[in-house]
Amino acid sequence: MLTASRHLRRLRPLAALAAALTLTALTGCSTGFDATSKKDYAPSDGIVAGDGDIRVLNALVVAADGADDGLVSMSVVNRGETSDRVTGIESDAGEVTLGGDTSLPAGSSVAFGADGTTATVSGLSKEPGQTVRLTVRFAKAEPLSLRTVIVPATDDYASLTPSSPPTPTPSATETPTESPSPTETAE
């Protein structure tokens, strides 16, 4: 009986070691340098891109079916200690025009959408559901290129359409009043 208890004492540490190694192996899945939890993840329809202190978050283009224009919706974040500015956006689907304040103060962001700061893709050559390449250019930082999608201007994106230029309102025209002709005189 003495030998059986001595045998159990030797097995307990080995059993504990085996359990610890098994637990480590099971919980160690997806860890390391290429772990899924370490990769950028965009929990939206848009795409995330970044290099250094500048990041583009949730980038996409919103356009109605058959529309000639689309609206870039995204946030640009400056995580650095020096200010920067978005100087332009290029697209393989049309010409992009910026509007509003595109400055990026240090530790701040700028949101592109339908109001405030805007980026409109004119002459849109692609339809909702197709991919589009955007290259965001900065005053100081290196350009960021990304491939994103054009989403239809429905549901959550219904209010994100390019603002159309104001349509001229017809001006009131004066109706000429008749003046008495020189041959007509009051008697």
Please give the torsion angle defined by the CA atoms of residues 86, 82, 147 and 118, in that order, rounded to the nearest 10 degrees: -30
Q: Taking residues 103-109, what's their average pLDDT?
A: 95
pLDDT above 90 (res 2): no
Identify the weakest region by mean pLDDT among 1-10, 78-87, 166-175: 166-175
- In which band, very low, low, confident or very high, does the pLDDT at 168 lie, cut at 50, 70 and 90? very low
> Which two three-digit tokens encode residue 41?
């993840």
Closest CA to 97 of 148, 162, 167: 162
**For residue 163, how many other CB atoms are within 10 A of its CB?**
12
Three-class DSSP category at 185: coil
The conformational region for residue 140 under phi > 0 = left, psi -120 to 50 = alpha, else beta, is alpha
pLDDT above 70 (res 90): yes
For domain 42-157, give the fold: Immunoglobulin-like (2.60.40)
| Residue ranges covered by each domain of the chain | 42-157
Name residues whose C-beta falls within 8 Å of residue 105's C-beta, 6 or more positions apart in sequence: 78, 83
Residues 30, 100: Cα–Cα separation, whole Å:
43
